[in-house]
Amino acid sequence: MSPTTSSLAIAAILFLSNTCLAAGPLAVPLGTAANFVILAQSGISTVPTTGISAITGDIGISPGPATGVTGFGLILSADGTDSTSTQITGNVYASSYTSPTPANLIAAVSDMGTAYNNASGRANPDYTELGSGGLGGLTLTPGLYKWSTDVGIATPVTLAGAATDTWIFQIAGDLTIASAKAVILSGGALASNIVWAVAGDVALGTTSTFEGIILSKKGITLKTGATINGRLLGQTAVALQKATVTQP
Ligand SMILES: *[C@@H]1O[C@H](CO)[C@@H](O)[C@H](O)[C@H]1NC(C)=O
Protein backbone atom coordinates (compact mmCIF):
# COMPACT_ATOMS: atom_id res chain seq x y z
CA MET A 1 0.00 0.00 0.00
CA SER A 2 1.13 3.57 -0.66
CA PRO A 3 1.56 5.78 2.42
CA THR A 4 -1.71 7.56 1.54
CA THR A 5 -3.64 4.31 1.13
CA SER A 6 -2.30 2.87 4.36
CA SER A 7 -3.10 5.99 6.38
CA LEU A 8 -6.61 5.96 4.91
CA ALA A 9 -6.92 2.30 5.86
CA ILE A 10 -5.77 3.08 9.42
CA ALA A 11 -8.25 5.96 9.65
CA ALA A 12 -11.05 3.67 8.43
CA ILE A 13 -10.15 0.99 10.97
CA LEU A 14 -10.06 3.54 13.80
CA PHE A 15 -13.43 4.92 12.70
CA LEU A 16 -15.00 1.47 12.45
CA SER A 17 -13.62 0.28 15.77
CA ASN A 18 -14.90 3.41 17.53
CA THR A 19 -18.32 2.96 15.93
CA CYS A 20 -18.56 -0.78 16.47
CA LEU A 21 -17.29 -0.71 20.04
CA ALA A 22 -20.32 1.27 21.25
CA ALA A 23 -22.51 -1.37 22.89
CA GLY A 24 -26.19 -1.20 23.77
CA PRO A 25 -29.37 0.04 22.10
CA LEU A 26 -29.79 3.04 19.79
CA ALA A 27 -30.06 6.29 21.78
CA VAL A 28 -33.57 7.36 22.80
CA PRO A 29 -34.51 10.62 20.99
CA LEU A 30 -35.56 13.08 23.71
CA GLY A 31 -36.32 15.95 21.31
CA THR A 32 -36.91 19.26 23.09
CA ALA A 33 -37.58 17.42 26.37
CA ALA A 34 -33.76 17.41 26.59
CA ASN A 35 -33.96 21.17 27.25
CA PHE A 36 -35.29 20.36 30.74
CA VAL A 37 -33.75 18.74 33.79
CA ILE A 38 -37.28 18.35 35.22
CA LEU A 39 -40.44 18.25 33.11
CA ALA A 40 -43.85 17.39 34.56
CA GLN A 41 -47.47 17.72 33.54
CA SER A 42 -49.36 18.37 36.80
CA GLY A 43 -46.92 19.58 39.47
CA ILE A 44 -43.35 20.13 40.64
CA SER A 45 -42.96 20.52 44.40
CA THR A 46 -40.21 20.87 46.95
CA VAL A 47 -40.44 21.05 50.73
CA PRO A 48 -38.40 24.14 51.66
CA THR A 49 -38.93 23.67 55.38
CA THR A 50 -36.72 20.55 55.37
CA GLY A 51 -33.86 22.32 53.56
CA ILE A 52 -33.65 23.68 50.06
CA SER A 53 -33.28 21.67 46.88
CA ALA A 54 -30.49 22.33 44.38
CA ILE A 55 -31.55 22.00 40.75
CA THR A 56 -29.17 22.56 37.83
CA GLY A 57 -31.00 23.03 34.51
CA ASP A 58 -34.35 24.41 33.39
CA ILE A 59 -37.63 22.99 34.73
CA GLY A 60 -41.02 23.04 33.05
CA ILE A 61 -44.68 22.26 33.72
CA SER A 62 -47.48 21.82 31.18
CA PRO A 63 -50.45 21.69 30.95
CA GLY A 64 -50.33 22.52 34.68
CA PRO A 65 -49.94 26.24 35.43
CA ALA A 66 -47.19 28.02 37.43
CA THR A 67 -49.27 27.59 40.61
CA GLY A 68 -48.41 23.87 40.29
CA VAL A 69 -44.75 24.68 41.03
CA THR A 70 -44.60 24.91 44.82
CA GLY A 71 -41.95 25.46 47.50
CA PHE A 72 -39.49 27.24 45.19
CA GLY A 73 -40.39 30.89 45.90
CA LEU A 74 -40.67 31.74 42.21
CA ILE A 75 -39.72 35.21 41.00
CA LEU A 76 -41.41 36.08 37.68
CA SER A 77 -39.20 37.69 35.01
CA ALA A 78 -40.01 41.17 33.64
CA ASP A 79 -41.31 39.80 30.31
CA GLY A 80 -43.36 37.08 32.01
CA THR A 81 -41.94 34.20 29.95
CA ASP A 82 -40.16 32.46 32.85
CA SER A 83 -39.30 32.70 36.51
CA THR A 84 -36.33 31.96 38.74
CA SER A 85 -35.71 30.52 42.20
CA THR A 86 -32.74 30.52 44.57
CA GLN A 87 -33.04 26.71 44.47
CA ILE A 88 -32.59 26.51 40.68
CA THR A 89 -29.55 27.28 38.52
CA GLY A 90 -31.71 27.74 35.45
CA ASN A 91 -35.21 28.97 34.67
CA VAL A 92 -38.74 27.81 35.41
CA TYR A 93 -41.25 27.59 32.57
CA ALA A 94 -45.01 27.09 33.00
CA SER A 95 -47.92 26.84 30.59
CA SER A 96 -49.51 29.91 32.19
CA TYR A 97 -46.55 32.17 31.24
CA THR A 98 -46.27 34.57 28.29
CA SER A 99 -45.71 33.37 24.69
CA PRO A 100 -43.65 31.58 23.40
CA THR A 101 -43.41 29.55 26.62
CA PRO A 102 -46.77 27.68 26.36
CA ALA A 103 -46.09 26.44 22.80
CA ASN A 104 -42.51 25.43 23.69
CA LEU A 105 -43.84 23.43 26.64
CA ILE A 106 -46.52 21.69 24.59
CA ALA A 107 -43.77 20.57 22.19
CA ALA A 108 -41.48 19.44 25.02
CA VAL A 109 -44.24 17.45 26.77
CA SER A 110 -45.16 15.84 23.45
CA ASP A 111 -41.49 14.93 22.91
CA MET A 112 -41.37 13.50 26.45
CA GLY A 113 -44.30 11.21 25.60
CA THR A 114 -42.68 10.18 22.33
CA ALA A 115 -39.41 9.42 24.14
CA TYR A 116 -41.23 7.27 26.73
CA ASN A 117 -43.04 5.37 23.97
CA ASN A 118 -39.78 4.94 22.06
CA ALA A 119 -37.86 3.57 25.05
CA SER A 120 -40.68 1.38 26.36
CA GLY A 121 -41.54 0.13 22.86
CA ARG A 122 -38.14 -1.32 21.97
CA ALA A 123 -38.37 -5.00 21.02
CA ASN A 124 -36.02 -7.94 21.62
CA PRO A 125 -34.61 -7.23 25.09
CA ASP A 126 -31.17 -8.60 25.91
CA TYR A 127 -32.33 -9.44 29.44
CA THR A 128 -35.83 -10.23 30.71
CA GLU A 129 -36.88 -10.31 34.39
CA LEU A 130 -33.22 -10.17 35.50
CA GLY A 131 -32.88 -10.79 39.24
CA SER A 132 -36.69 -11.01 39.45
CA GLY A 133 -36.60 -7.20 39.59
CA GLY A 134 -34.01 -6.99 42.37
CA LEU A 135 -30.95 -5.21 40.99
CA GLY A 136 -28.95 -4.83 44.22
CA GLY A 137 -25.43 -6.22 43.94
CA LEU A 138 -25.57 -6.74 40.16
CA THR A 139 -23.19 -5.33 37.54
CA LEU A 140 -25.16 -4.43 34.42
CA THR A 141 -23.44 -4.30 31.04
CA PRO A 142 -24.90 -2.18 28.18
CA GLY A 143 -28.16 -3.46 26.72
CA LEU A 144 -31.97 -3.46 26.69
CA TYR A 145 -33.47 -4.78 29.94
CA LYS A 146 -37.15 -5.58 30.47
CA TRP A 147 -39.25 -6.36 33.54
CA SER A 148 -43.01 -7.05 33.78
CA THR A 149 -42.85 -6.28 37.54
CA ASP A 150 -41.61 -3.63 39.96
CA VAL A 151 -37.85 -3.09 40.07
CA GLY A 152 -36.03 -2.36 43.32
CA ILE A 153 -32.46 -1.45 44.18
CA ALA A 154 -31.95 -2.59 47.79
CA THR A 155 -28.13 -2.55 47.72
CA PRO A 156 -25.80 -0.72 45.29
CA VAL A 157 -25.97 -1.65 41.59
CA THR A 158 -23.16 -0.98 39.09
CA LEU A 159 -23.55 -0.03 35.42
CA ALA A 160 -20.27 -0.92 33.73
CA GLY A 161 -19.42 0.27 30.25
CA ALA A 162 -17.68 2.90 28.14
CA ALA A 163 -18.71 6.51 27.51
CA THR A 164 -20.36 5.55 24.20
CA ASP A 165 -22.33 2.59 25.62
CA THR A 166 -26.09 2.72 26.23
CA TRP A 167 -28.65 1.16 28.59
CA ILE A 168 -32.46 1.13 28.37
CA PHE A 169 -34.50 -0.27 31.28
CA GLN A 170 -38.15 -1.07 30.51
CA ILE A 171 -40.08 -1.40 33.77
CA ALA A 172 -43.80 -2.24 33.78
CA GLY A 173 -44.23 -1.59 37.51
CA ASP A 174 -42.66 0.89 39.96
CA LEU A 175 -38.96 1.70 40.36
CA THR A 176 -37.49 2.26 43.82
CA ILE A 177 -34.02 2.67 45.27
CA ALA A 178 -33.60 2.20 49.00
CA SER A 179 -32.42 4.86 51.40
CA ALA A 180 -28.68 5.68 51.16
CA LYS A 181 -28.13 3.24 48.27
CA ALA A 182 -26.51 4.14 44.93
CA VAL A 183 -26.41 3.48 41.23
CA ILE A 184 -22.67 3.38 40.52
CA LEU A 185 -21.19 4.06 37.08
CA SER A 186 -17.88 2.45 36.11
CA GLY A 187 -15.61 2.33 33.07
CA GLY A 188 -16.62 5.79 31.81
CA ALA A 189 -20.39 5.08 31.60
CA LEU A 190 -22.42 8.30 31.31
CA ALA A 191 -25.78 9.18 32.90
CA SER A 192 -26.84 10.75 29.58
CA ASN A 193 -26.70 7.28 27.96
CA ILE A 194 -28.93 5.57 30.54
CA VAL A 195 -32.73 5.59 30.21
CA TRP A 196 -35.19 4.27 32.81
CA ALA A 197 -38.64 3.94 31.16
CA VAL A 198 -41.04 3.29 34.03
CA ALA A 199 -44.78 2.66 33.62
CA GLY A 200 -45.39 3.06 37.35
CA ASP A 201 -44.17 5.45 40.04
CA VAL A 202 -40.52 6.19 40.76
CA ALA A 203 -39.28 6.73 44.33
CA LEU A 204 -35.67 7.54 45.20
CA GLY A 205 -35.00 6.91 48.90
CA THR A 206 -33.55 9.37 51.41
CA THR A 207 -29.90 10.27 50.60
CA SER A 208 -29.83 7.78 47.71
CA THR A 209 -27.77 8.52 44.59
CA PHE A 210 -29.19 7.82 41.15
CA GLU A 211 -27.90 8.09 37.58
CA GLY A 212 -29.73 8.44 34.25
CA ILE A 213 -32.74 9.85 32.42
CA ILE A 214 -36.00 8.85 34.15
CA LEU A 215 -39.01 8.73 31.83
CA SER A 216 -42.00 7.96 34.05
CA LYS A 217 -45.55 7.39 32.89
CA LYS A 218 -46.58 8.45 36.41
CA GLY A 219 -44.94 10.42 39.23
CA ILE A 220 -41.38 10.77 40.49
CA THR A 221 -40.56 11.33 44.19
CA LEU A 222 -37.13 12.19 45.57
CA LYS A 223 -37.12 11.71 49.32
CA THR A 224 -35.07 13.87 51.70
CA GLY A 225 -31.52 14.37 50.50
CA ALA A 226 -31.76 12.19 47.35
CA THR A 227 -29.40 13.05 44.48
CA ILE A 228 -29.71 12.35 40.76
CA ASN A 229 -27.32 13.04 37.95
CA GLY A 230 -29.79 12.88 35.06
CA ARG A 231 -33.29 14.11 34.20
CA LEU A 232 -36.74 13.71 35.76
CA LEU A 233 -39.27 13.55 32.92
CA GLY A 234 -42.60 12.62 34.49
CA GLN A 235 -46.07 12.43 33.00
CA THR A 236 -47.80 13.44 36.26
CA ALA A 237 -45.97 15.17 39.15
CA VAL A 238 -42.40 15.43 40.43
CA ALA A 239 -42.02 15.79 44.22
CA LEU A 240 -38.70 16.80 45.79
CA GLN A 241 -37.47 17.24 49.33
CA LYS A 242 -34.00 18.79 49.83
CA ALA A 243 -32.97 17.04 46.61
CA THR A 244 -30.04 17.61 44.28
CA VAL A 245 -30.93 17.24 40.59
CA THR A 246 -28.22 17.90 38.02
CA GLN A 247 -28.56 17.55 34.26
CA PRO A 248 -25.82 15.48 32.63
C1 LIG B 1 -36.99 5.11 18.42
O2 LIG B 1 -36.36 6.19 17.74
C3 LIG B 1 -35.40 5.77 16.79
C4 LIG B 1 -34.69 7.00 16.28
O5 LIG B 1 -35.60 7.94 15.77
C6 LIG B 1 -36.09 4.96 15.70
O7 LIG B 1 -35.14 4.50 14.76
C8 LIG B 1 -36.80 3.77 16.33
O9 LIG B 1 -37.54 3.09 15.35
C10 LIG B 1 -37.73 4.23 17.44
N11 LIG B 1 -38.25 3.03 18.11
C12 LIG B 1 -39.49 2.95 18.60
C13 LIG B 1 -39.85 1.67 19.23
O14 LIG B 1 -40.27 3.90 18.58
What is the CA(90)–ligand 1 centre distance, in A?
30
**CA 211 → CA 13, 75, 80, 214, distances in Å?**
33, 30, 33, 9
22 pLDDT band, cuts 50/70/90, is confident
Is residue 10 domain-resident?
no
The pair phi, psi for residue 136, each rounded to 5°, is -55, 135
Is residue 36 domain-resident?
yes
What is the span of the domain harbouring residue 159? 31-121+128-246
What is the CA(160)–ligand 1 centre distance, in A?
24
Mean pLDDT of 39-54: 92
Predicted local distance difference test score (pLDDT) of residue 20 = 54
**pLDDT surpassing 90 at residue 49:** no
Is residue 207 domain-resident?
yes
What is the CA(198)–ligand 1 centre distance, in A?
17
Q: Whose Cα sits closest to atom 6 in ligand 1?
A: 118
Q: Is 151 left (phi over 0), alpha (psi -120 to 50) or beta?
A: beta
72 pLDDT band, cuts 50/70/90, is very high
Predicted local distance difference test score (pLDDT) of residue 193 = 98
Predicted local distance difference test score (pLDDT) of residue 229 = 98
Name the more confident of 10 and 94: 94
Distance CA 97, CA 60 (A): 11
In degrees, to the nearest 5, what angle opens at C-alpha 230 toward C-alphas 227 and 180?
A: 25
Q: Whose Cα sits closest to atom 4 in ligand 1?
A: 29
Mean pLDDT of 36-57: 94
Is residue 43 domain-resident?
yes
48 pLDDT band, cuts 50/70/90, is confident
Q: Which atom of ligand 1 is nearest to the CA of 114?
A: 14
Is residue 1 domain-resident?
no
What total of structural domains would you count in the chain? 1
| Cβ contact 120:127 at 8 Å | no
**pLDDT surpassing 60 at residue 6:** no
Is residue 24 domain-resident?
no
Distance CA 1, CA 3 (A): 6
Mean pLDDT of 9-17: 47
Q: Whose Cα sits closest to atom 1 in ligand 1?
A: 118
**pLDDT surpassing 60 at residue 232:** yes
Instruction: State the average pLDDT for the chain.
Output: 93
**pLDDT surpassing 50 at residue 162:** yes
Predicted local distance difference test score (pLDDT) of residue 145 = 98
Mean pLDDT of 130-153: 98
What is the CA(124)–ligand 1 centre distance, in A?
13
**pLDDT surpassing 80 at residue 27:** yes
Check pocket membership of 121 for ligand 1, CB cut-off 6 A.
yes
Q: What is the CA radius of gyration of the chain?
A: 20
Is residue 59 domain-resident?
yes
**pLDDT surpassing 60 at residue 97:** yes
- Give the full edge-to-edge strand order of the sheet including 69-70: 69-70, 43-45, 237-240, 220-222, 202-204, 175-177, 151-153
What is the CA(26)–ligand 1 centre distance, in A?
8
**pLDDT surpassing 80 at residue 128:** yes
The region of weakest confidence among 8-12, 95-99, 184-188 is 8-12
Mean pLDDT of 234-238: 98
Check pocket membership of 122 for ligand 1, CB cut-off 6 A.
yes
- Which mutation among 118, 124, 215 tests ligand 1's pocket best, with the greatest number of atoms within 8 A of CB? 118
Is residue 57 domain-resident?
yes
Question: In 3-state terms, what secondary structure has residue 117?
Answer: helix
Mean pLDDT of 179-207: 98
Predicted local distance difference test score (pLDDT) of residue 7 = 54
| Cβ contact 81:98 at 8 Å | yes
Check pocket membership of 118 for ligand 1, CB cut-off 6 A.
yes
Mean pLDDT of 27-42: 98
**pLDDT surpassing 80 at residue 1:** no
Predicted local distance difference test score (pLDDT) of residue 122 = 98
What is the CA(117)–ligand 1 centre distance, in A?
9
